[in-house]
Structures are given as structure tokens and as C-alpha cells.
Structure 1
Amino acid sequence: MGVQSELFLAFFRIGIFGFGGGPSMIPLVHQEVVKRHAWMDDDAFADVLAIGNTLPGPIATKMAGYIGYRVGGAAGAVNAVLAVIVPVIVVMIALLGLYLRHGDQRWVQGMGQGVIPVVMIMMAQLTLDFFNKSRAGLGWITTLIMGLAAAGLIYGLGLHPGLVIGAILIAALLRPDPASRKGEVAK
């Protein structure tokens, strides 16, 4: 199977099973891109997720576009984006039609409520994976301080997560390279 076919099928699966919107698709993207196809490692995925969160628009399409481009060029970007949005559009139209006809039925209302615990577990697993990755790279104390600071800024002050991530990216870019400081001290 060619790379374009693999890209399409990977993001088609994400589009079909990504109930709950963009954030619920992130663990599915991780599963396909990092674990199943190894198109990138956890570090690269975390970078794509962080940058994608700073940009406007749906995260699933931004990630599909970037990953598709990285794996298959411009055609891969278009392929992955179409693969992730077409199922969503078709399912949305079908479910809205079903809801308009049978929205007052308990089984229809239960469908939406039944998906919530599954999405919650998927998000918890992704959170645990990112926590462990952050702890391994930054240590416990820095991870907890940054996590609490981010929570305070986002939930306490109501800042958009993209602004918090953007500020961290700018701080990381402006931070002097420790290797260059060692060279200066040795002189």
C-alpha cells in the first residue's frame, strides 16, 4: 500500500471514530501517527500539537494538514485533510437528520451521553502520556509548576490556551542555549 493510501486510511479512521470534536481526535491521531505508522515520534507529535493549538481553527484539520504534508508532500496534506473531514461531514448530516426525526427518543439522547465516558478515558490517557513525557524531560517540580501555572492562566484568568502555549514557545526561543553559555565561560 502506498503512502497516500496509508495517509488516507489513517485519517479516515480518525474522522470516523473522532466523536466529541477535535480534542477527542488527538489520541486517535497519536495512535495512528506515532504508534501505528511511526511517521513521527512522541516529541515531534507533542511539538505539532503545541504549535497546532496556537493557530486558529480546528486542531484535527491542522494536524492532518501538517502530518499529511510531512509524510506525503502537498498531495499528502490535501489527502489527509479530506480524509479527516469528509467522514465528519457525512456523519454529521446523517446524525442531524436522525436527530430531527427522532430527537425526542431516549435512545437518541443516550447515544451522545454514552460517548462522553469513552472520550474522557481517551483524554485521560493522552494527559497521562504527556505528563510522563514532560516529567521525563523537565522533571517533577518543573512539570508541576508549569502545569499549575498554565491551569491558573487558562482556568483562573480565562486566557486562551493558544496564548499560553505561544508565550511558552516565545520564551523557549528567547532562552539562551546552555551549550553556548558553556563555551563563553570556558573562554
Structure 2
Amino acid sequence: MFIAFFRSGILGFGGGPSTIPLVKKEVVEIFEMMDDEEFSDVLSIGNTLPGPIATKMAGYIGYRVGGWLGLVTALIATVLPTVVLMIVLLASLNEFKDIDFVKGMTKGVVPILAVMLGVMTWDFLKKSKKSLGWKTGFLILLPSFIAMMLLGLHPGIVIAVLLVLAVALPIKKKEGRNK
């Protein structure tokens, strides 16, 4: 089991979705832990849950095949290549951090990341306008911003409070055309 998930973890460059065909090859074709239909069911269930698909599939398949030990083995095998690679890359980056080329690369990441986060934020704002309207969206945004930026509250606490409020005080979705 370790070999199956380690190979798919180390060869799955590009994140969880790129590992799905590799996991299928290992689990269905090479080690025959399950058939095609069972794998499709695992994939469907995994896609409905939050979090990285590779670890969800590894955990479920590992548990199904080998119980708790299988679950732990499959999870370790899935994340180990990424952990090792991150340690090696961070150590290398730290060793070469004073070279002008590396300095330029690391400085170049900040504006790119800022643009990516800005685009994502704008997309969320458009979606909130569509589902809640500007007023309700702003009534959620402003206190959240104040709580996190000015009061220093952890985002997880803000999200938990908003979830409790959403259950306690359901907000009606805007229907029809939003202004």
C-alpha cells in the first residue's frame, strides 16, 4: 500500500487532480485493491468533501483495505513526497537566498500572489452580490474585516461565528435581478 500511494504522490506533479489517474493505476490495475466501479465511487465521494482529493482518497482506500494501519500508511505515503520536497526546496532557497537571481525571484512572487488574491477576492465579491446583494455582503464584509485586521481575531474564529450566525439568522437569497 505504501508503494502505491508513494509513487502516485511523488509522480503527481500539479496537485491532487493530477494524482487521480496515478492512484487509479496503482489501486485498480497494479495492486487490484478495488475495481473500476469502486474507485469511481471513492472519487465521487472524495469530490463532495472539502480538502485535498489525494489525501481523502488515500485515507479512505487505506482504511478500506487495511483498517487504521492502512489509513495511516496511505496518508503518510501520499504526503511524504511533498514534505520531503518542501524541506529540500526550502533548505536550498535558504542557502542561495543572497544571490541576486534568487532575491529577484522571491520578490517577484509577492506581486503575483497579491494579484491572484485580488482576483479571487473580486470573484468572491461578485458571487456574494449575486447571491446576497451588495448590502448584505457589505454587512458581512465590514465586521469581518474589522475583526481580523483591527482586532487581530483569527480568520477561523470569524468563519465559525459567521457560520453560527448563518444557521441562527438565515439570510434570504436575492432572487431576480440584483441592483
CA contact 1:14–1:84 (8 Å) conserved in 2: no
The whole-number CA distance in structure 2 between the counterparts of 1:113 and 1:169 is 36
CA contact 1:99–1:108 (8 Å) conserved in 2: no
Matches within 5 A, 1:1-187: 12-14=13-15, 48=50, 63-64=51-52, 69=56, 74-75=60-61, 86-87=81-82, 89-100=84-95, 102-175=96-169
Cα offset for 1:119? 1.4
Secondary structure of the residue aligned to 1:103 is coil
CA contact 1:8–1:80 (8 Å) conserved in 2: no
- Alpha carbons of structure 1 residues 177 and 165: separation in structure 2 relative to 1, 3 Å: closer
Cα offset for 1:75? 3.0
Fraction of identical pairs, as percent? 30
The whole-number CA distance in structure 1 between the counterparts of 2:117 and 2:111 is 10
Q: Could you tell me which amino acid in structure 2 is paired with residue 148 of structure 1?
A: L
Secondary structure of the residue aligned to 1:123 is helix
Q: Which has the larger radius of gyration?
A: 2
- Alpha carbons of structure 1 residues 93 and 177: separation in structure 2 relative to 1, 3 Å: closer
The whole-number CA distance in structure 2 between the counterparts of 1:164 and 1:93 is 35
Aligned CA RMSD, in angstroms, stands at 3.9
The whole-number CA distance in structure 1 between the counterparts of 2:121 and 2:58 is 29
Cα offset for 1:112? 1.1
CA contact 1:154–1:161 (8 Å) conserved in 2: yes
- Alpha carbons of structure 1 residues 147 and 81: separation in structure 2 relative to 1, 3 Å: farther
TM-score by length of 2: 0.54
Cα offset for 1:85? 6.5
CA contact 2:55–2:78 (8 Å) conserved in 1: no
- Alpha carbons of structure 1 residues 85 and 139: separation in structure 2 relative to 1, 3 Å: farther
In structure 1, the gaps of 5 or more residues are: 16-37, 49-62, 179-187
